[in-house]
């Protein structure tokens, strides 16, 4: 983008208005071509939406050259004066020649950059479209006697207590609240990890994080049997859409899926060439208060729906299992207009503004979720579809000094929503207060479908809860882990009897090698925000839960699997870094 700035400055100084207009037109044409190349990924009903997105991209991007041109001439004068100051003994004509030579060099760089960028863009899109169509247009027919579909909808980084049905004050989730009334809502569901990769791995395998050992550089073990593999063997067509690079196919999360759409996460040379463009466009759009472009908006729920709807239209007559991984409201919090203005106020403090942007993302997803449910109804498959709505972890806003997730195992990072809609009208609107876990989702689906399996699962079926058969049964112990290979701390958590929560964290000692342990004990029934540490007041309870966590760690160690080694994949590391993981 700096090279473009130099070129526009040079043309403006020479009063080459025609060439400035041609350059701006070239940028506009590039944006339109890039938009049209997305056409094959859209279903027929959403072409109008694509045209709207292209127009928005053009309007937003057109602001950049004019702003650069407005301030560029002054910058050029400064550059010229600097040359004169450095080479005072040179004649004026020599300085002008040097300046023009530099501009010529910059122009050459621009031409090379554009040639490489546009060429690679066209080639990659042609190749990608071919791969995508070849993958998605394959004919796969279900072979199961059960006329039922299963859909797991996971919304990344969604806190349970930021939904209306869980008591939140802001009107962020009308569609989700209505959906909760159509099925069973679990009041206290806990993720087994506070960040995506290990949490989703536990969801799809019903194994604890210390068993599958999924992390930044280690993917899902080949020996781990996923829910998709299990249902694929039962004759279901299996499909996955994801927008989080942490669970791409390179991490082996495609196990058992007939269709695995991670194409928006694929590497791109043209993206590297034009890397600076989206940053500048978003900065300008933010300054002027207009909607940002979609150059890197690959995690949008609306984009996800277009791709998912296209697949549904083709496979609506099959019996299928879908795992849908939406990214909104994962950071960065950037909901489109008008959602981004719903709860935002400049008068609020910075952290309150972050919460407002986060809530705006939830509100945006809520409407997209409504569209998804309506699509199922239009296709005539809503009634025969089991829908499980869940999140992989929560999000922190300085409740315990941390932001986002993957840092602790406090409630704000591990308490997630769980709702189940299935064909039992008697269960509609039911709320289960007993604590449950993400590892319970897989055995629940297996039980609902009546699938017989010898596959070892650490979770337990929630069907008795759904059918109202469990009363007075002790709540299971909930174990939670926080392990980051690149971090300096490791935390383990345990919830017992649905109220006592124990956390042990290994923290680095400042200025020394080694670690020190910090133990915390909370009574969630009296202190849901985990503010009062009862470790000193309840030594017996502390000792008992400490021993339970150690037994859990030993148990996981005995069943630990050899992970799939990914290593430091450059593109994956860059994508994870953009999401704040590294």
Task: Tell me the C-alpha distance between 465 and 437, whole Å.
Answer: 13
CA distance to 359, 428, 449, 471, per residue, from 423 (Å): 31, 9, 12, 22
Q: Which residues contact 122 (CB under 8 A, 6 or more apart)?
A: 37
The string of DSSP codes covering 106-157 is HHHHHHHHHHHHHHHHHHHHHHHHHHHHHHHT-------S---EEEEEEETT
Fold of domain 149-472: Alkaline Phosphatase, subunit A (3.40.720)
The candidate with the shortest Cα–Cα distance to 462, out of 396, 418, 401, is 418
Q: In sequence order, what E strands does 402-560 have?
A: 403-404, 415-421, 430-437, 478-483, 490-496, 500-508, 515-523
Q: Using the predicted structure, report yes or no on whether residue 531 has a pLDDT greater than 90.
A: yes
Question: Burial code of 465-481, b = ≥16 C-beta within 10 A, e = fewer?
Answer: bbeeeeeeeeebbbbbb
The span from the first CA to the last CA of the chain, in angstroms, equals 26
Average pLDDT, the chain: 76
| Dihedrals phi, psi of 480, to nearest 5 degrees | -130, 145
Answer with the residue of higher pLDDT: 436 or 476. 436
Task: Tell me the C-alpha distance between 218 and 197, whole Å.
Answer: 9
Token code pair at residue 578: 């953009």
Query: What ranges do the domains of the chain cover?
Result: 2-133, 149-472
CA distance to 133, 320, 481, 569, per residue, from 315 (Å): 14, 8, 38, 34
Task: Tell me the C-alpha distance between 489 and 503, whole Å.
Answer: 13
The answer to whether the bond into 278 is cis (omega within 30° of 0) is no
Q: Count of alpha carbons within 13 Å of 509, Cβ hemisphere only?
A: 6
Mean pLDDT in residue range 485-507? 75
Answer with the residue of higher pLDDT: 289 or 249. 249
Q: What is the pLDDT of residues 201-260, one digit of tens each?
A: 999 999 999 999 888 778 899 899 999 999 999 999 999 998 887 888 888 899 999 998
Q: What is the pLDDT of residues 301-322, one digit of tens each?
A: 888 898 899 899 989 999 999 9
Where residue 522 falls among pLDDT bands split at 50, 70, 90? very high
Task: Tell me the C-alpha distance between 105 and 98, whole Å.
Answer: 11
Q: Using the predicted structure, report yes or no on whether residue 510 has a pLDDT greater than 70.
A: no
Stretch (H or E) spanning 323: strand 320-326
Q: What is the CA radius of gyration of the chain?
A: 27
Task: Tell me the C-alpha distance between 492 and 181, whole Å.
Answer: 34
Q: For the whole model, what pTM was predicted?
A: 0.74
Residue 2 confidence (pLDDT)? 44
Token code pair at residue 292: 């940002």
Residue 175 confidence (pLDDT)? 96
Task: Tell me the C-alpha distance between 181 and 50, whole Å.
Answer: 34
Lowest-confidence segment of 267-281, 329-343, 459-473 by average pLDDT: 267-281
Q: Using the predicted structure, report yes or no on whether residue 517 has a pLDDT greater than 60.
A: yes
Q: Using the predicted structure, report yes or no on whether residue 113 has a pLDDT greater than 80.
A: no
CA distance to 9, 104, 114, 264, per residue, from 12 (Å): 5, 15, 20, 38
User: Ranked by mean pLDDT, which of 43-47, 215-219, 569-573 comes out on top?
Assistant: 215-219
């Amino acid at each position: 983008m700096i090279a473009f700035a130099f070129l526009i400055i040079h043309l403006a100084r020479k009063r080459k208005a025609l060439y400035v207009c041609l350059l701006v037109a070239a940028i506009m044409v590039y944006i339109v071509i890039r938009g049209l190349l997305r056409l094959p990924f859209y279903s027929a009903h959403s072409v109008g939406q694509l045209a709207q997105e292209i127009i928005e991209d053009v309007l937003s991007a057109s602001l950049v050259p004019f702003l650069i041109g407005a301030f560029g001439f002054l910058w050029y004068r400064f550059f010229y004066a600097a040359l004169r100051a450095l080479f005072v003994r040179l004649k004026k004509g020599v300085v002008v020649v040097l300046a023009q030579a530099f501009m010529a060099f910059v122009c050459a760089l621009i031409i090379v950059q554009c040639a490489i960028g546009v060429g690679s863009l066209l080639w990659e899109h042609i190749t990608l479209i071919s791969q995508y169509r070849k993958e998605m247009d394959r004919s796969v027919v279900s072979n199961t006697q059960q006329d039922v579909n299963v859909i797991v909808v996971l919304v990344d980084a969604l806190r349970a207590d930021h939904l209306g049905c869980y008591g939140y004050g802001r009107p962020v989730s009308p569609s989700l609240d209505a959906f909760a009334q159509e099925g069973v809502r679990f009041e206290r569901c806990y993720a087994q990890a506070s960040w995506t990769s290990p949490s989703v791995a536990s969801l799809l395998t019903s194994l604890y994080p210390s068993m599958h050992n999924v992390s930044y550089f280690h993917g899902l073990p080949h020996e781990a049997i996923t829910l998709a593999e299990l249902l694929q063997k039962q004759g279901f067509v299996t499909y996955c859409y994801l927008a989080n690079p942490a669970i791409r196919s390179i991490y082996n999360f495609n196990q058992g899926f007939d269709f695995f759409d991670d194409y928006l996460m694929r590497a791109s040379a043209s993206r590297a060439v034009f890397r600076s463009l989206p940053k500048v466009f978003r900065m300008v759009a933010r300054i002027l208060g207009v909607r940002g472009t979609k150059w890197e908006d690959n995690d949008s729920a609306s984009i996800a729906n277009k791709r998912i709807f296209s697949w549904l239209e083709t496979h609506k007559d099959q019996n299928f299992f879908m795992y849908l991984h939406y990214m909104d409201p994962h950071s960065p919090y950037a909901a489109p207009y008008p959602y981004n203005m719903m709860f935002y106020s400049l008068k609020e403090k910075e952290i309150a503004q972050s919460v407002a942007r986060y809530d705006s993302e939830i509100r945006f997803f809520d409407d997209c979720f409504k569209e998804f449910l309506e699509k199922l109804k239009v296709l005539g498959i809503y009634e025969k579809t089991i829908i499980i709505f869940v999140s992989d972890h929560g999000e922190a806003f300085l409740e315990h000094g941390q932001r986002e997730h993957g840092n602790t195992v406090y409630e704000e990072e591990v308490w997630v929503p769980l709702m189940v809609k299935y064909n039992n009208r008697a269960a509609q609107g039911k709320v289960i207060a007993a604590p449950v876990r993400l590892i319970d989702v897989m055995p629940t689906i297996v039980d609902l479908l009546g699938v017989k399996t010898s596959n070892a699962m650490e979770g337990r079926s929630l069907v008795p809860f759904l059918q109202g058969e469990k009363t007075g049964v002790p709540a299971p112990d909930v174990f939670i882990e926080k392990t980051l290979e690149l971090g300096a701390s490791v935390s383990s958590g345990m919830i017992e009897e649905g109220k006592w929560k124990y956390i042990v964290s290994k923290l680095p000692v400042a200025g020394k090698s080694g670690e020190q342990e910090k133990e915390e004990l909370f009574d969630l029934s009296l202190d849901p925000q985990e503010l009062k540490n009862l470790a000193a007041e309840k030594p017996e309870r502390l000792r008992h839960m400490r021993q339970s966590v150690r037994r859990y760690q030993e148990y996981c160690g005995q069943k630990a699997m050899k992970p799939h080694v990914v290593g430091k994949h450059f593109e994956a590391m860059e994508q994870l870094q953009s999401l704040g993981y590294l």
